[in-house]
Amino acid sequence: MEKREDGIMGMNILVAHGGGPTAVINTSLQGVVEAARASGRVDKIYAARFGAEGILKGDLMDLTEVPAEVIARLRHTPASAIGSCRRKLTQDDYPTVLETIKKFKIDAFFYNGGNDSMDTCNKVNELAVKEGLNLSVIGIPKTMDNDLEVTDHCPGFGSAARYAAISASELALDASGLPIHVVVLELMGRNAGWVTAAGAMARRLTRCGQLTYLPEVPVDMDRMLADIEAVYAKGNGLLVTVSEGVCGPDGKPLADTGIVDGFGHVVPGGTAQYISGQIMQKLGIKSRAEKPGLLGRCSIPYVSPVDSGEAYEVGRYALESALRGESGQMVAIEAVRRPQYRSRLFLTPLSGVANAEKRFPLEWIVDGNQIDDAFFDYAKPLMGEDFPQYAFLR
């Protein structure tokens, strides 16, 4: 820390984003910045341009004097306002990371991301301790996939789930209003089906038939087609909702792009198109494939108020934790849903969440293609409970 003109020791802080942005990742950034300004104990507020890439290049933005009204707009800005990346740091990269931290005299480092980002955050903390560097390292959870361990849920999930639920319901109404084809909706979720499960809300909001398939349960294509044929025959329309990472009994994705991302993960995609093709070829039923893709994670009009509020508080809490001298921790959420939803924040060691993946509970998957009400008891408070009430005249 450096001494300011008033004699008080002030901190320099660094914020970075990692992995795929969400609709509320910038809201957490807003929480960090506004809490830093309110504390009166922070001198410089830096942000890494495009996450780890910016740290390695020493390419930091100075947010210290950015007008308050611009920072306030972060709450309504999708994607990452400071840039993110999928760069997986190697052991050779970490000395360069520490060089940047030393060059800019950083006292607290905040990394906002998911599983891989928490691993990076943990390794930075371990190296700082090893080097005797006085650095506070705090992880800020972010992932629409909702697959971080320990925390009840992750900022970004509630809004993505709300988007999935309402968009699936709109498609279901279209499928039942003109029931001449099967609509297959592909939603994001490489290994965890949390967001796709939210799409099963369509079965509760509409009268359309719906089948839902998550990556946690392997799909037998023959059984899937038989179920599709049976539900479609009822004449009420059919929406088939699938996770992009759905696999067959052999453990291989139904559709494989053949591309690997910067974290070493196989990039899924094309699942809905593949299933639609099978429906038309083997059942002789017209089918349409729909894939909102990135819209499912960055849509601001579908932001959940609960998600946005918690994302801000997570950022604020991270800054306040660093001011208390905490390090090697990630901010996590504990939630109580009855009689009324409320949540509180706490810290959990980074070592316990780094690279750990929370899968969708198998007991919430019924017959391999339906989602139990227990999931919606869990998820509806996070999505915002004011769902549309549709008119049914038929």
What token pair was written down for 200?
């099963």
Q: What is the CA radius of gyration of the chain?
A: 22
**Distance between first and last Cα of the chain:** 69
| 189 annotated as belonging to a binding site for a ligand | yes
Decide: helix, strand or coil at residue 152. Answer: coil
| 20 annotated as belonging to a binding site for a ligand | yes
Residue 181 CB partners (closer than 8 Å, separation 6+) = 175, 285, 286, 287, 288
Report strand pairing: 209-213 vs 182-187.
unpaired
What token pair was written down for 220?
């037998």
Phi, psi of 151 (to 5 degrees): -70, 140
What token pair was written down for 160?
């993505």
| 229 annotated as belonging to a binding site for a ligand | no
Question: Does residue 312 contact residue 32 with C-beta atoms inside 8 Å?
Answer: no
Question: Which residue in 119, 194, 109 sits closest to 352, CA to CA?
Answer: 119
Burial bucket for residue 301 (CB in 10 Å: 0-12, 13-18, 19+): exposed
Question: Which residue in 143, 152, 163 sits closest to 304, CA to CA?
Answer: 163
Length of the chain: 394
| 59 annotated as belonging to a binding site for a ligand | no
Q: Examine residue 339 and say whether the peptide bond preceding it is cis (omega within 30 degrees of 0).
A: yes
Q: How far is CA 378 from CA 135, 341, 367, in A?
A: 37, 10, 20
Residue 172: CB atoms within 10 Å: 28
Q: At what angle do helices 94-103 and 115-130 cross, to 10 degrees?
A: 70
Residues identified as active-site: 145
Whole-angstrom distance, CA of residue 177 vs CA of residue 314:
42
| 222 annotated as belonging to a binding site for a ligand | no
| 144 annotated as belonging to a binding site for a ligand | yes
* DSSP assignments along 63-125, one per residue: -TTS-HHHHHGGGG--S-SS--------TTTHHHHHHHHHHTT-SEEEEEESHHHHHHHHHHH
Strand ranges inside 90-224, DSSP E: 108-113, 136-141, 182-187, 209-213
| 244 annotated as belonging to a binding site for a ligand | yes
Question: Does residue 390 contact residue 173 with C-beta atoms inside 8 Å?
Answer: yes
Binding-site annotation: residue ranges for diphosphate: 20
Binding-site annotation: residue ranges for substrate: 143-145, 188-190, 244
Binding-site annotation: residue ranges: 20, 115, 143-145, 188-190, 244
Binding-site annotation: residue ranges for Mg(2+): 115
